[in-house]
Each structure stands twice: as C-alpha cells, then as structure tokens.
Amino acid sequence: MKPDLSQKFSKLFGQPATAAFFAPGRVNLIGEHIDYNGGLVLPCAITFGTDLLVAENKEGIFRFRSLDFEDQLDIPVQDGYTRKGKEWYNYPLGVMQQFLLNNKKIMGLDMLFKGDVPVASGLSSSASIEIVTAFALNETFNSGFTKLELVQLGKKVENDFIGVNSGIMDQFAVAFGEKEKAIELNCDTLNYKIVDCKLQDYVLAIINTNKPRQLSESKYNERVAECQTALKDLQKELKIDYLCAIDTATFNKYEHLIENETVKKRARHVIEENDRVKEATQVLASGDLTRFGQLLYASHASLKDLYEVTGKELDTIVNFCKTQKTVAGARMTGAGFGGCAIALVKHDAFDDFSKNLIKYYTEKVGYECAVYNSLIGDGVKRV
C-alpha cells in the first residue's frame, strides 16, 4: 500500500484503508478496427493505471473520492443505481449496479481512487476504473466472480450504464495483462493466448496527441457500415460470417466482388491487418523487434491510406519516428481521429526522443504532444 495514499485515505475518511488494489491502462500493440470484423487484437497492460484503497464503513454508505477529480459522491446502499450526469464516479457506480443485478450483496465502503492514465487519451482510463472497482468489490465481499466474469461485467457497465457501444478488448487487457506479455485475443470468441513480449533494450513510448477528442461516432459508424457492405459483397461467393475469416491471398482472389472502391479499401485494411497480428505474435515470441517495428509502420500506413482514420496529428508523430534510428516502429493506437500513438524507442535514447518529438510536433501542429515512458505491466491485482 502506497504510504502517501494511505495517509490521504485516513485523512479523508477518519479510518485507515484495509486493502489496496491496482488496475492498469492498456494499449493495443497492433490490430486496429478489426475487433468488429471477427479479427484478432494484440493488446497489453501498461504501467500506468488506477490505484484504489478501500475500507468498509458501518454507515451503509458508499463514499467515492478521487485525487484526480473534485467531484465526490456519498450514496447509501440501495436496490439499484442509475447514471448521474457525466461524472467519473458513474464507472464505479455502474459496477455496483452490475453486482446488484447479479444478486451479490454489497455493503458500505469508503473508496479512494488515484489514477495516472491520461483521461480521454484512448488508453482506457475508464476500463481501468471499472476493473479495479469490480475486482475490489469481488475480493471485499467474496462475491465469487471469475476474472472473465468481471471483464464481461465491465463491458456491460460501459455499454448499458455509461452508454458507450465499445467492445471487450479494453477490460480484457486490463484484467488479464501480464508483465512482459501481450494478449492475442479473438474479440468474437474470447479465445486468447498469452504472447511473450520482451522489449529488450526498448521501451514503449506512448504519445498523446492532446488533440481535443471527439471520437467521431459518425466516422466510426460509417466504417462499421462499410465493412458490413464489403462482407455482403464477398458472401455472394464465399461462405463467411465476418471479414477476418479470410486471409489476404483469398481476398486478392475475390476482391472483384466488392463494387465500391472505398469499401474495397476498408476491407483490404481489415484483412491485411488481421494477418499482421498473426505475424506480430510470431515475431514477438521469437524476439524479432526489428520486424515487429516494421509491422507497426505498415499498420499505420494502412490505417492512413486504406482506412483513413489517422489525421494530421498522428501522422506527424509517425513521420517523425521514421526519421529516428533509435525507433524500431510506430503507429496510431485506438480508434484514431486523435488520441495516442505508440513507438518502440531505445531505452537510452528516450529522453532525447521525447524532447525532439515535442519540438517537432509543436512546430507542425501548433501545440504540444505528451510523451510517456511505459513498460508492459501486470493486470489487475491486490497490492
């Protein structure tokens, strides 16, 4: 338990914390915009995340406090909860609602959250809060959920309580992440395998564009619709349920079935990206970070040219990385239209890389990006 957080907890609640938990944020190393096409993703947990300290209280009240937000909430234990505006505490509140819907008993709890995942950056600060809350409640009240059930519960919070139509990758990576490992996850079946991901003398640079983030729902939904159109066209001759059921060689043989050229480009990205994930899993397991870096660059180029979801800010970051001998590879990560990029940067060169990138980016874009140095860390745990 971190001493400074323990002291703050005691000061806020007038009693010591009895348990501490941590859940990380996540990045998707490769495999973008294919989760809704039956494909594979390769996320990992990062070393930034959310700390949660708890202690039961005798008043039958849930008290939510955060060292990152001024908003706070005291709410009695009751039969059900509904969303309250857009405050951060809706995430733990939604978790409590899911426990109640599953007939789990919960009692009054003092809860102090502290996170260092940049909010609205695409690194899953929300999934981090959901999973750390669910894990803490499960442990505190012996609720008996498996880790996979907590993941599915977190997704329901996002979809049903918060109202965001997201997939399961974020919660899955936050819960199942392991130090120096990535997760090859089939978002459709939830089959997964843990993949060795030793970064050797590299670190994972996470670069936040700081672009005011309006994840373009309309653009996102447009891409989903274009993929569905491509699938219908291919189904004229192929018995497939989703685009990622075929590989690039098969697509090359049947792409003539797709009449619209834009739709054809979208499908090509999806299918080639799925093949890149498969290759990335193999090269990471063999420790070939040079080839892995090339796959990162290829992924970004495809997201830029075929899927058209990158934008000036993300392209500026990747263009800079290409000029640096100390960078093995880089790409946008997340949905695009802003958010974050990742880069594999030599550990010894990170400080110079960071300083020079911020200068270059500011000159090109007009405001600074933020650069973070992360390793691949553990999933949710008691600390």
- With b for 16 or more beta-carbon neighbours within 10 A and e for fewer, the 60-89 pattern comes to eebbbbbeeeeeebeeebeeebeeeeebbb
Interatomic CA distance for residues 309 and 322, integer angstroms: 19
Report the phi/psi class of residue 85: left, alpha or beta, with left for phi > 0 and alpha for psi in -120 to 50. left
**Environment class of 212 (CB within 10 Å of its CB; exposed 0-12, middle 13-18, buried 19+):** exposed
Torsion angle in degrees (nearest 10) through CA of 122, 282, 298, 222: -50
Q: Which residues contact 216 (CB under 8 A, 6 or more apart)?
A: 337
Residue pointed to by tokens 């590299």: 202
- Please report which residue ranges of 162-260 form alpha helices under DSSP H: 169-176, 217-234, 248-254
201 among known catalytic residues: no
Beta bridge partners of 343: 205, 330
Exactly one of 35, 170, 233, 275 is catalytic; name it: 170
Interatomic CA distance for residues 339 and 72, integer angstroms: 27
Interatomic CA distance for residues 341 and 37, integer angstroms: 22
Among residues 295, 299, 319, 322, the alpha carbon closest in space to that of 309 is found at: 299
Report the phi/psi class of residue 336: left, alpha or beta, with left for phi > 0 and alpha for psi in -120 to 50. left
Interatomic CA distance for residues 253 and 1, integer angstroms: 58
For Cα atoms 203, 359, 352, give the angle at the middle one, nearest 5 degrees: 35
Interatomic CA distance for residues 353 and 380, integer angstroms: 30
Q: C-alpha 227: how far from its chain's center?
A: 22
Active site residues: 170
